[in-house]
Chain A
Amino acid sequence: MTSTPRLIEVRRNVLKQNDILARALRQRFSDAGVFVVSVVSSPGAGKTAFLESLLTELHPQKRVAALVGDLATANDAERLARSGAPIRQITTGTICHLDAAMVERSLQGWALADLDILFIENVGNLVCPSSYDLGEDLRIVVMSVTEGEDKPLKYPTIFNTADVALISKIDLAPHVNFDWPSAQRNIHAVRPGMDILRLSSKTGEGMPDFMQYLESRRSQSRYLAAD
C-alpha cells in the first residue's frame, strides 16, 4: 500500500501566467516587425515629457504609437496625442504596475504590422513594475537629476531588470549640483556595464544621441529576428 507523499515538488513560477502572455506578445511583436520599448521611472521623473518629445520627433517619419499607464486620468494620453501618433491610455485603478494582460487588452484593434515602434509608459513606480515582463524588446529606466545620484542604490531591482538608464532633466543638473561620476558609479554598482544616456526633454539636449541609440537597438533586434 502506498501512502501520499507529504511534500509534492512543484517548481512553478508564480508569475507563470504573465510570463506566458509576455512571451506570446514578444512573438507577436516580432512577427509584426514592431520594436517595443517600455519606460519605467518614479512618478515625476519626466517619462511623459520624454515620450512627448520623442513621439513629436519620430512622427510621422516613423510609424510610432504609445500605450500609457496610470492609476487614474487620461491626462498623459491627451498630452501624448498632441504628437499626432496613435495613443491609448491604460487606467489601472488601484494597481501599481502594468502587466502583460493589460498590454494585450489595450492592443485590441491595432494593426501591429502598421507600426515601426511601440512605446509603453509604465505607471510611475520604481518597485512593482520590475516583476512584470511586458514582452518589450527594450526597457528604459528614467531617473531625473533632481531625484539624487543614489536612486539606483535605493531601487536596485528595477535598474537591474532594465536595459538602459536614461538620466533626464539634465538642464537642471547645475542647479542641483548633480554629481555625474557618482550617478554613473551607482548605476554600474547595481548593473555593471549598463548603457547610460542623458537627456533634457526641455532643451532637446541628448535627443540626437538617444535617437541614434534607439535606432541601433532596433536594427540589432531586426537583425536577430531575421536570423
Chain B
Amino acid sequence: MHELSVALSIIDGVMEESERRGGLQVAAIHLKLGSLSGVSKDALLFSYDLACNDTPLEGSQLVIEEIPAVLYCPTCEAEHSPPSLQDFFCPASPDHIPQVLHGRELEISALELQG
C-alpha cells in the first residue's frame, strides 16, 4: 500500500505546476494510470482525499483514466493488446520478447480549473 505516498506526490506535482503558472484554482486533476503502474485505483482515490486535507487542493477531484497494457513485438514489428497481465506472450510465438509500449503510465495529464 504505497498509494498514500503516490497521492502526496500528486499533490506536490500539482502545487508545483500551479505555482509555475502563478497559482491556479484547481478543481480536478486528470491522471493516467497504467495497468502496470503498480498503483491501485481504489486505494489511490481513497488516499487522495485524505492527503488533500488542509492543502489548497482540499475538495478537488481526482479523475483517473485507466490505461491498459499495449505491447510491441520487435520480431513481428507489430503491436498487440494482451488479454491480461498474466498473458504477455506474443500471439505469434512464446519465444518472442515483446516490449511494453503502454501500461506503465502514472502521469498527471491535465488540470481542470474552477470556472
- Interchain CA distance A7-B86 in the complex, whole Å: 36
B85 A6 Cβ-Cβ under 8 A: no
- Interchain CA distance A157-B1 in the complex, whole Å: 14
Is B17 on the interface with A (CB-CB < 8 A)? yes
- Interchain CA distance A8-B112 in the complex, whole Å: 6
B108 A15 Cβ-Cβ under 8 A: no
Is B36 on the interface with A (CB-CB < 8 A)? yes
Q: What is the CB-to-nearest-CB distance from A183 to chain B, in angstroms, rounded to a whole number?
A: 14
Q: How large is the interface on B (under 10, 10 to 19, 20 to 34, 35 or more residues)?
A: 35 or more
A131-B98 contact in complex given A7-B113, A190-B86, C-beta closer than 8 Å: no
Which residues of B from 63 to 115 have beta carbons under 8 Å from A? 85-90, 94-98, 100, 106-113, 115
- Number of cross-chain contacts by CB at 8 Å: 106
- Interchain CA distance A4-B26 in the complex, whole Å: 12
A14 B31 Cβ-Cβ under 8 A: yes
Q: What is the CB-to-nearest-CB distance from A216 to chain B, in angstroms, rounded to a whole number?
A: 18
B110 A7 Cβ-Cβ under 8 A: yes
A190 B88 Cβ-Cβ under 8 A: yes
A8-B37 contact in complex given A156-B85, A160-B100, A189-B89, C-beta closer than 8 Å: no
B106 A8 Cβ-Cβ under 8 A: no
Is A9 on the interface with B (CB-CB < 8 A)? yes
Contacting residues, chain A, for B97 (C-beta < 8 A): 192-193
Contacting residues, chain A, for B52 (C-beta < 8 A): none
- Interchain CA distance A13-B9 in the complex, whole Å: 10
B88 A8 Cβ-Cβ under 8 A: no
Contacting residues, chain B, for A16 (C-beta < 8 A): 13
B1 A128 Cβ-Cβ under 8 A: yes
**28 A–B contacts, CB within 8 A, in A order:** A4-B113, A6-B112, A7-B113, A8-B110, A11-B109, A14-B6, A14-B9, A14-B31, A14-B106, A14-B108, A15-B106, A16-B13, A17-B9, A17-B12, A95-B2, A95-B5, A128-B2, A130-B38, A131-B2, A131-B38, A131-B39, A153-B86, A156-B88, A157-B85, A189-B86, A190-B85, A190-B86, A192-B89
